[in-house]
A and B are shown apart, each in its own frame.
Chain A
Amino acid sequence: MRRLFAHITAGAIVVFARAITAVRGVWTGVAPAPTRRVYFANHTSNADFILLWAAIPPQYRRHTRPVAAADYWLKNALRTFIGRDVVRGVLIERAPEARNQDPVAQMTEATDAGDSLIIFPEGQRNMTGEDLLPFKTGLFHLASARPDLELVPVWIENLNRVMPKGEIIPVPFLCTVTFGAPIAYSDHKAAFLQAAYDAVLALKPETGDG
């Protein structure tokens, strides 16, 4: 019953996201595929993963799980329902002292079960007006634990205009989600993270004020 309800809610959320943003997946570097992937994207809004999720065709969406903050998504019953049941989030405790599980182990557990992941390597929502914040190291640790995963950079455009921080009414803007070519794993941490960072930023469309 709870699963059926979660399924219907997932569909409703995607329909709503489409109605407001007419979101469109632009697959410039890869095509949608059942391959186990790590989609890593820029993060400007709490709805980022919903948009990215909506841009993935439904048959693969079910096997694509966002990695999200447990302290945010387990705060109340509604968030828990959405975070855990609807989008099947891999919920990670941000504060190290509150952890009883290793975040990388939580992620590899999901990929070993055949799922793809969505992660936001900036580690927090970007409110600065900069295009992209420096990446945290989680992506590197995940990639070195499972070098066979396909690492797909993603740029989410315009969602921060739909609902800026502190606003409660979403406003319609056209949004796109651009999927770039997978990046190669390298065991040099700094170089790898820089390459990942550059790959995401390179997907930002050059329009408007630029």
Chain B
Amino acid sequence: MTELQILFTGILGLLLVATIIGHVLDEARPSPSVDNLVARINAWWIMVLALAIAFFLGRTAMVLLFAFASFNAMREFVTIAATRREDHLAVAAAFFIILPLQYYMIWMDWYGMFSIFIPVYAFLLMPIVAVVKGETENFLVRIASVQWALMIAVYCVSYVPVFLSLHIPGFEGKNLLLIAFLILIVQISDVLQYVWGKAIGRHKIAPRLSPSKTIEGFLGGVISSTIIGAAMFWITPFTFWQAGLMALGISLMGFFGGLVMSAIKRDRGVKDWGDSIAGHGGFLDRLDSLVFAAPLFFHLTRFFWMTNP
């Protein structure tokens, strides 16, 4: 079996076990939190299947899948953002011009452009499109919201399919494994922080941002996902220690990403970003950690491992 097949078999096994546990719990002690757990596991199945199908179909499917995720994430972001009707054209441009262009350039593998397109061109274009309407009230807040929507929901999310374009000597044709490593560590870290927090969590780590997060959950989750990441070095181009360090970086960025996104939610007075994924909230509730981890993981990998093409 190839590494990818072993990996998917392992993930399917994990999900199967989780599904069985969910059903047993539901039979034995039905409660709203068990319902939530079952809904979460079911949503995991759909997410894993969508990823597996896109993995199997290849590059174009991966790009389309994450373009779709970006569309949903940005819709959630602008829905709670403080835009006015005067920003309509800017928001329309973000959805129907910037987003498709970003993913098109990723699909055609134009690194020199897609890596600066949103931070430079879109960043400058958005306030220009909005300013011609002449509405000055809350201008900075409004336009920063649109720029953040693009950076978070499009730019950062689009880093995931970009891994397919990396050229790492000795790792040709296996770049999908880097995406699998990234997503797996981010999600395992999230889940384990939750599990450790439930099990032994006592001291709140950020009571104003996220009352359920504890120091014990944070440490337990980050340490155990670092160990799991190190142990998975065989699916990556990294050594044992390198893989552990990468997993540590991914987990830390994921943790702080979650905090930042929850600060935004609190500021705007909402609990979840949306409700399109049963049990999980919206797309951004699931992507928040990935959004912060993906660009860092990509650039570290690119900087240290990629040879100049």
Taking Cβ atoms with an 8 Å cutoff, the residues of A that contact B are 22, 24, 158, 160-161, 164-165, 167, 169, 171-174, 206-210
Q: Please tell me which one of the listed residues B76, B80, B85, B275 contacts residue A207 in the complex, with CB atoms under 8 A apart.
A: B80
Knowing A22-B276, A169-B96, A174-B75, the reply to whether A164 touches B88 (Cβ < 8 A) is yes
Knowing A22-B75, A208-B80, the reply to whether A171 touches B91 (Cβ < 8 A) is yes
Residues of B within 8 A of A164 (CB): 85, 88
Stretch from B116-124, B245-253, B266-274, B288-296 forming part of the interface with A: B266-274
Task: Find out whether the CB atom of B275 lies under 8 angstroms from the CB atom of A208.
Answer: no
Tell me the smallest distance from the CB of A48 to a CB of chain B, in Å: 16
Task: Find out whether the CB atom of B75 lies under 8 angstroms from the CB atom of A207.
Answer: no
B64 at the interface (CB under 8 A from A): no
**Which residue on A lies nearest to B96, using beta carbons?**
A169
Task: Find out whether the CB atom of A173 lies under 8 angstroms from the CB atom of B96.
Answer: no
Task: Find out whether the CB atom of A207 lies under 8 angstroms from the CB atom of B91.
Answer: no
Tell me the smallest distance from the CB of B285 to a CB of chain A, in Å: 13
Task: Find out whether the CB atom of B274 lies under 8 angstroms from the CB atom of A171.
Answer: no
Task: Find out whether the CB atom of B79 lies under 8 angstroms from the CB atom of A171.
Answer: no
Knowing A207-B268, A210-B269, the reply to whether A167 touches B88 (Cβ < 8 A) is yes
Knowing A164-B85, A208-B269, the reply to whether A173 touches B275 (Cβ < 8 A) is no
Q: Tell me the dominant secondary structure on chain B's binding face.
A: helix
Interface size of B as a range: 20 to 34
Tell me the smallest distance from the CB of B64 to a CB of chain A, in Å: 15
**Which residue on B lies nearest to A158, using beta carbons?**
B79
Residues of B within 8 A of A167 (CB): 85, 88-89, 92
B189 at the interface (CB under 8 A from A): no
Residues of B within 8 A of A208 (CB): 80, 82, 268-270
Knowing A158-B79, A167-B88, A209-B82, the reply to whether A174 touches B268 (Cβ < 8 A) is no
**Which residue on B lies nearest to A157, using beta carbons?**
B79
Task: Find out whether the CB atom of A207 lies under 8 angstroms from the CB atom of B83.
Answer: no
B71 at the interface (CB under 8 A from A): yes
A167 to B86, CA, bound (A): 10
**Which residue on A lies nearest to B74, using beta carbons?**
A172
A164 to B133, CA, bound (A): 14
A158 to B88, CA, bound (A): 13
How many A-B residue pairs lie within 8 Å, measured between CB atoms? 48
Task: Find out whether the CB atom of A172 lies under 8 angstroms from the CB atom of B75.
Answer: yes
Tell me the smallest distance from the CB of B69 to a CB of chain A, in Å: 14
B183 at the interface (CB under 8 A from A): no
B78 at the interface (CB under 8 A from A): yes
Tell me the smallest distance from the CB of B160 to a CB of chain A, in Å: 21
Q: Please tell me which one of the listed residues B79, B82, B268, B270 contacts residue A173 in the complex, with CB atoms under 8 A apart.
A: B79
Task: Find out whether the CB atom of A24 lies under 8 angstroms from the CB atom of B80.
Answer: no
Task: Find out whether the CB atom of B92 lies under 8 angstroms from the CB atom of A171.
Answer: yes
**Which residue on A lies nearest to B138, using beta carbons?**
A209
CB neighbors of A among B61-87 (8 A): 71-72, 74-76, 78-80, 82-83, 85
Task: Find out whether the CB atom of B269 lies under 8 angstroms from the CB atom of A173.
Answer: no
Tell me the smallest distance from the CB of B113 to a CB of chain A, in Å: 25
**Which residue on B lies nearest to A21, using beta carbons?**
B75
**Which residue on B lies nearest to A20, using beta carbons?**
B75
Knowing A174-B75, A174-B79, the reply to whether A24 touches B275 (Cβ < 8 A) is yes
Tell me the smallest distance from the CB of B55 to a CB of chain A, in Å: 25
A171 to B96, CA, bound (A): 9
15 A/B residue pairs, CB under 8 Å, sorted by A: A160-B85, A161-B85, A167-B85, A167-B92, A169-B92, A171-B78, A171-B91, A172-B74, A172-B75, A172-B78, A173-B75, A173-B78, A174-B76, A207-B80, A208-B268
CB neighbors of A among B30-80 (8 A): 71-72, 74-76, 78-80
B95 at the interface (CB under 8 A from A): yes
A31 to B99, CA, bound (A): 38
Task: Find out whether the CB atom of A171 lies under 8 angstroms from the CB atom of B88.
Answer: yes
A172 to B96, CA, bound (A): 10
Task: Find out whether the CB atom of B276 lies under 8 angstroms from the CB atom of A161.
Answer: no
Residues of A within 8 A of B274 (CB): 22, 174
Residues of A within 8 A of B270 (CB): 207-208
Task: Find out whether the CB atom of A171 lies under 8 angstroms from the CB atom of B276.
Answer: no
A171 to B97, CA, bound (A): 12
